[in-house]
Chain A
Amino acid sequence: MTAFDIDIKGRAGSFAIDAAFRAELGVTAIFGASGAGKSTLLKMIAGTARPSSGRIVVAGKTLYDSVSGIDLPPERRGIGFVFQDARLFPHLSVRKNLTYARWAGRRPASRPFGEVVSLLGLENRLDSDPATLSGGERQRVAIGRALLADPSLLLMDEPLSSLDKARRREILPYLEAIRTETGIPVLYVSHETAEIARLADTVVVLEDGRVIDSGPAATVLARLSLATGGDTEEAATLIEGRVTAVDPAYQTATVALDGGSIELTGTGFNAGTIVRLRVRATDVAIATQPHDGLSIRNQLSCRIDELRREGAHAMVVLDLGGQRLIARITAKSADALELAPGGRAIALLKAVSVEMARVEQSTRRPL
């Protein structure tokens, strides 16, 4: 089922927006730099900004269609919006904020209140004044408030960007829980590839109001990493695998990948869990043959797809049984090891540097 189908033209300040994309269920991330038109796009979908022409269809319902003159007001679009700055009503308690869509918006109570409250861990804050909440709690209330509005689509406009690193880590599991437990399609705007890697099934890349790339998260993020090779911190790839064994004593999990198997740290995973790994290009080392006597236990045999030189550095694009891995090494090393496309190489992964997240359903598509 198509969750939403969007094709709109309009203006956002000084530049034009001309974006068309559609998505299935799951989380669709809109990625783009600040000022790429991401927020304006969300406002147009929510109905608080008006496109100049186009069509917006969500869950089979036409919200906007310039040809047939349909333009539903925001309150009748059945959309949940989580804003960057939470926007909790300061004169209402947490409970009244959460239930606002029911008592003021007359939206149906299709989702049990207690279920949302426990999903977001807000049991103890219901009677609090929003001003007394921490940044993370505030954002959780904002998410709950949107969920309780019975939305057929949840829009999230950089919900983590106003939070510090620790708070982000606090919220991410809740966002993952929404994806896996509510089944509500999510349109998630962000300029953080790390967040997108963890949450998104589909990625749409927006630049100056236009869609320049879209597709399955792993594919688009790998292309993005190569395109933004200069941005060394962020270059990373996503690979998916299945947990085959766990070692509670060492708190490690063995993950089977298409091209081998690796051991990573992490708890709360069971055998059979499908996980998504985010591997930064700077955390992958390369060897031409297997090594003993190393602290790095994960050694994966890959084929070299591509070698890109960027000054003192080289980006080595590796093929691991169909999934992609990128290593960022020095140009000197690449020459010393005589790496070349088509050849074999061993990718060395430090277990502690890989981020692992659970996914409910595999979203992998062939690359």
Chain B
Amino acid sequence: MSEAEISIILLSAKVAFVAIACALLPAFAIAWLLARKRFAGRGLLQALVTLPLVLPPVATGYGLLILFGTKGPLGRFFDSLFGLEFAFRWTGAALAAGVMAFPLLVRPIRLSLEAIDQGYAEAARTLGASRLVVFLTVTLPLALPGIIAGAVLGFAKALGEFGATITFVSNIPGQTQTLSLAIYALLQTPSGDAAAMRLILLAIALALLAIIASELLARKLTRDRP
């Protein structure tokens, strides 16, 4: 592997990892709201969360550009408050990846929460556990397979994200050029086919590794429990 290839892979992994790490908690909170609570605007929230899945990624990227660009309202907010810039930075690539992966995180978590029999929580309460303890000792462990499934699915989506990323943060080598963007750039150059093929093979290897790792993790967390 060349140095350039290694840096592309490391950047892609960093972008996807940060995206999922930051999105997981809000995704769980929204999944929990959708699964457990009945409130006004629930349908709207559900539609909003699903939006990145059905919208053309380029449109989502453009929306991010308007909101989180240097002149965008949220962009200025984060810059002035935390010194956090998104435009044409890897952080922007992570944001785009996180937004695009969000619906894929929420759905399995929500389904797993909905599948938990509320009777377990009732039983736990009568055994002396407070709401918080019931959440930590019953709800969370039982939702774990769904959380892992969502994280794996979201990570895969974040790793391969293309449309929203290139629209929002462009294709800057070393800064925002993730694996898919690098493959795209190489395919645009006349003699880049061979190098693109190497990256594609690397991507396949990476994907297989990720799948095996997540299988092992899921097995460890769900099978060994008793």
Contact = CB atoms under 8 A, between A and B. Distances in A.
On whether the two chains bind one another, the answer is yes
A128 B123 contact: no
Contacts of B188: none
A93 interface: yes
A189 B120 CA distance: 20
B125 interface: yes
A48 B128 contact: no
Interface centre among A48, A105, A130 (most CB of B within 10 A): A105
A107 B226 contact: no
B130 A96 contact: no
Interface centre among A48, A74, A92, A96 (most CB of B within 10 A): A74
A93 B223 CA distance: 12
A91 B128 contact: no
Contact of A104 (B133, B225, B226): B133
A173 B148 CA distance: 44
B122 A90 contact: no
A104 B129 contact: yes
Interface size class of A (residues with CB under 8 A): 20 to 34
Interface residues of B, number: 20
A75 interface: yes
Given A96-B226, A127-B226, A128-B226, A105 B127 contact: yes
B123 A83 contact: yes
Contacts of B125: 47-48, 73-75
B142 to A, nearest CB: 6
Contact of A46 (B126, B133, B137, B226): B126
Interface string A116-131: 0000000000011110
A94 B134 CA distance: 18
A149 B120 contact: no
Contacts of B133: 104-105
Interface of A: 46-48, 73-77, 79-81, 83, 85, 87, 89-94, 96, 100-101, 104-107, 127-130, 145-146, 149
Given A104-B127, A105-B127, 4 more contacts: A47-B126, A48-B122, A80-B127, A105-B128
30 contacts: A47-B126, A73-B130, A74-B125, A75-B125, A75-B127, A75-B129, A79-B126, A81-B123, A85-B119, A87-B122, A89-B120, A89-B123, A89-B138, A90-B142, A91-B141, A91-B225, A92-B226, A93-B226, A94-B226, A96-B226, A100-B124, A100-B127, A101-B127, A104-B124, A104-B127, A104-B137, A105-B124, A105-B127, A105-B129, A149-B128
